[in-house]
Amino acid sequence: MTFDRRITPARGDIAAEHLRGKVEAERYVLGCPRRIVAPSAPLRPNPQPDGSYDTEALAGELVTIYDEDEGWAWGQLQRDGYVGWLSANALDEPSPAPTHRIAVPRSLAYPGAGFKLTPRSTLSLGAEVTVIRQVGDWCETAHGFVFAAHLVEIGIRVADWVSTAESLLGTPYLWGGKTGAGIDCSGLVQLSLAQAGITAPRDTDMQEVALGAPLSKDASLRRGDLVFWKGHVGIMRSAETLLHANAFHMAVASEPLAGATARIAARSFGAVTSIRRLGPSI
């Protein structure tokens, strides 16, 4: 059978045990649960550090690992099912479970409870951490001390997911990116929806099928509607304004939908393929 390699843990030489009888492989394995312990980790189609990557896993995410080879691990992310290669250094045992997540675009982790120290790392929106203890305005985690106001407990959801996307305005565009350091169009949609507890696939073609209900192309638009092109997606901030991570601005940008639609049709992705509405007006 044919399968989508992005979300199917199968190669010619190895496949997940649950795919036995569905795909052909030399061997089938159960896989081992692991957790992302790096601030973020690129997920690549091939075990090559200088190649492109498909997406990024964030701190705290669970991944099932099916194969390891020379510092690389091949597996499937639990959140969106994406399959690929990760640096084995980014992984560790799945316990302890995270208690909090980063609720701002970027937050620095310090070696102690003070902002005058040299930061250890940067954690991005959606990254999950385990709080060990709180010291004043700071929470100690395995990454270092994080400003407590930048954290929310796991399970707390934002009411307006578009406001989350708006907080990332100006973030550099990065193919496959999903952090405050760089993000792409479908990553912006997926990451923002996740803060509201809405699960979304990773790529635009998957999102166009899975998210919301289609609208007619002459429908009156509203905040939170999604506009799709073949290979691109944007979020409506209002009836006329589009928010999207794009390679024209090389950033997350906001602009009139009419102008964006004309430019995209002429320069890159062609005509709008669909408009989809997730639910009640935000």
pLDDT, position 280: 59
In this structure, the answer to whether residues 27 and 134 fall within a common structural domain is no
In this structure, the answer to whether residues 258 and 170 fall within a common structural domain is yes
pLDDT, position 13: 95
Supply 205's token pair. Answer: 């073609």
Please check whether residue 3 lies inside any domain of the structure: no
pLDDT, position 66: 98
pLDDT, position 167: 98
pLDDT, position 282: 42
Please check whether residue 10 lies inside any domain of the structure: no
Give the domain range for residue 54.
15-92
Please check whether residue 36 lies inside any domain of the structure: yes
**pTM for this structure?**
0.95
Handedness of CA 162, 193, 182, 275 (dihedral sign): negative
User: In which residue are the tokens 């954690």 written?
Assistant: 123
Those residues of the chain that have pLDDT short of 70 are 1, 280-282
Count: domains in the chain: 3
Q: The CATH number of the domain where 86 resides is what?
A: 2.30.30.40
Q: The CATH number of the domain where 256 resides is what?
A: 3.90.1720.10
Burial of 39-67, coded b for 16+ CB within 10 Å and e otherwise, reads: bbbbbbeebeeeeebbbbbbbbbbbbbbb
Please check whether residue 215 lies inside any domain of the structure: yes
In which region does residue 270 sit, left (phi positive, over 0), alpha (psi from -120 to 50) or beta (all else)?
A: left
pLDDT, position 180: 95
* Last-in-domain residue among 153, 174, 191: 153
User: In which residue are the tokens 């989809």 written?
Assistant: 276
Of 65, 86, 54, whose CA–CA distance to 178 is shortest? 54
Please check whether residue 8 lies inside any domain of the structure: no
